[in-house]
């Protein structure tokens, strides 16, 4: 697909010419010096785009990878993983874009779609998967953790059989949100096939400044991939609530975070999320605004990584 075709696609799909979009955010194609991992866009934010248009869109604004949703309502429906996942991976590779990870809703190896998803991912070179979330009932948290450990172990074992490693995502409000409750569970699993998908935004929510630092230190030896997004606390009629915001405008200490990653030699996949509100009166307008937001946040991300990792 030549450059002219890509520009025409973007103009039609988003209502904006790619060149005009890039002019507003600077040279987003410049790679962060020293950092070698793939920079991925979480595909959740472009839900209506099919395989080819999704790949062209993310590549045009400077991403080198896609964190692909393989879950209900995602780009690949779980029951169609064997048919549709290879198509997305091929479309990406044909354009020089990687799919290093998939985001699933799997919480047990016994789910009927678990093996087809992971077998297909492994057969097509997808190295990592994010499982779904486990909830506390807050009735007997020790028993709840023990039950969760059995399910996670089964998923990790299945992933190992299929050649896809599990990255546990710490998300505020769920089991593992603060990391420390799941460290003994994840650390008991084979390190090749189970590790962490660290989300500093949620680590700050759960533990504040000291909390995210200790959590990152705990997961660092088995860090598989990271999520980047930002937030701040806001007091409203319902009390204090989290408010997501563009990268660099919230409470995450990005300079310290990137410095910690560089010190530990992390070069795995980075998944950029846009969880804040993005306006758009129409679907096309919202898609255009989403691409602009992604390009802007990507430029901020690259600058921070380059400062931390230095020259290659």
**Cα angle 229-233-238, degrees, rounded to a multiple of 5:** 125
Place of tokens 């994840």: 186
Spatial contact of 119 and 159, defined as CB atoms under 8 Å apart: no
**Eight-class DSSP state of 82:** H
pLDDT values of the chain reduced to their tens digit, one per residue, 312 residues: 444 345 444 544 444 433 444 333 444 455 566 999 999 999 999 999 999 999 999 999 999 999 999 999 999 999 999 999 999 999 999 999 999 999 999 999 999 999 999 999 999 999 999 999 999 999 999 999 999 999 999 999 999 999 999 999 999 999 999 999 999 999 999 999 999 999 999 999 999 999 999 999 999 999 999 999 999 999 999 999 999 999 999 999 999 999 999 999 999 999 999 999 999 999 999 999 999 999 999 999 999 999 999 854
Give domain 3-309's CATH number out of 2.40.30.10, 3.90.1150.10, 3.40.50.620, 3.20.20.150.
Answer: 3.20.20.150
Spatial contact of 32 and 306, defined as CB atoms under 8 Å apart: yes
Spatial contact of 196 and 159, defined as CB atoms under 8 Å apart: no
Return the domain boundaries, the chain. 3-309
Query: How many angstroms separate the CA atoms of 247 and 306, rounded?
Result: 15
**Residues β-bridged to residue 198:** 226
Does residue 293 sit in helix, strand or coil? helix
pLDDT at 33: 67
Query: Structure tokens of 249?
Result: 């405008």
pLDDT at 188: 97
């Amino acid at each position: 697909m030549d450059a002219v075709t890509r520009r025409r696609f973007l103009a039609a799909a988003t209502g904006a010419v790619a060149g005009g979009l890039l002019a507003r955010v600077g040279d987003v194609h410049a790679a962060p010096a020293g950092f070698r991992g793939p920079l991925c866009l979480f595909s959740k934010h472009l839900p209506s785009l099919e395989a080819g248009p999704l790949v062209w869109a993310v590549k045009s604004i400077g991403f080198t990878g896609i964190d692909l949703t393989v879950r209900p309502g995602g780009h690949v429906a779980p029951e169609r993983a064997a048919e549709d996942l290879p198509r997305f991976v091929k479309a990406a590779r044909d354009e020089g874009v990687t799919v290093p990870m998939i985001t699933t809703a799997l919480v047990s190896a016994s789910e009927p779609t678990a093996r087809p998803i992971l077998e297909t991912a492994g057969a097509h070179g997808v190295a990592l998967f994010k499982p779904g979330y486990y909830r506390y009932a807050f009735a007997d948290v020790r028993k709840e953790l023990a039950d969760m450990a059995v399910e996670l172990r089964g998923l990790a074992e299945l992933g190992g059989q299929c050649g896809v490693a599990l990255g546990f995502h710490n998300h505020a409000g769920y089991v593992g949100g603060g990391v420390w409750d799941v460290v003994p569970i994840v650390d008991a699993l084979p390190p090749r096939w189970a590790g962490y998908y660290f989300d500093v935004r949620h680590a700050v929510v759960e533990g504040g400044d000291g909390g995210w630092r200790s959590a990152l230190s705990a997961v660092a030896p088995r860090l598989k991939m990271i999520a980047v997004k930002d937030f701040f606390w806001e007091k409203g009629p319902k009390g204090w609530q989290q408010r997501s915001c563009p990268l660099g405008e919230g409470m995450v200490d990005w300079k310290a975070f990137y410095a910690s990653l560089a010190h530990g030699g992390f070069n795995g996949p980075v998944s950029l999320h846009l969880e804040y509100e993005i306006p758009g009166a129409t679907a096309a307008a919202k898609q255009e605004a989403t691409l602009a937001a992604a390009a802007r946040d990507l430029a901020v991300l690259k600058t921070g990584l380059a400062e931390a990792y230095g020259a290659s």
